[in-house]
Amino acid sequence: MIRRRAHYNPLATSAAPRWYVVRSMHGSVLEARELAPGTNLLRAFLTAMLTWHHDGWEIGEFSSATATFFCTRDPERRMVSIDPHDPRDVPPYGGAHLGGCPTCGD
C-alpha cells in the first residue's frame, strides 16, 4: 500500500500571517507587505494577477501550487508570490542557529 501525503495548498486560508512579495529577477525584494491572518489568499493571488495585467504587464507562467506568478514588461520581469515567511527575515542556514555563541559560550 502506498501512503500519500496530504496535498499542501499554499493559497488556503491560514491563521498565520502571509506576505505578498514582489521580487526582481535578481531576487531583490522590491515590495513586501503582510497579509492579515484569515485573508482569502486565493483572492489575493488572483487580484494581484489582474492588477499587474491591468497595469500593462504580461502575465507569464504561474503556479497555484507555489503561489507564484511571473510578469514581464520589456525589459523588466517580476516574480510575485504569496509567501509563508517575512522575506526580510534572514534565515539561519544549516544548523548554525542550534549551537551556542562560539566566543562567549552561551
Q: CA triplet 50, 42, 63: central angle to 5 degrees?
A: 75
So what's the pLDDT on residue 91? 62
Q: Which residue has the cell 512579495?
A: 21
Mark the ranges of the chain whose per-residue pLDDT is less than 70: 1, 90-106
Q: What confidence score (pLDDT) does residue 2 get?
A: 74
Cα separation, 17 vs 87, whole angstroms: 12
> How is the chain split into domains, by residue range?
18-83
pTM over 0.85: no
pLDDT value of position 12: 92
d(CA 25, CA 27) in angstroms, rounded, equals 5
35-40 long-range contacts, CB within 8 A, separation 24+: 35/82, 38/13, 38/14, 39/13, 40/13
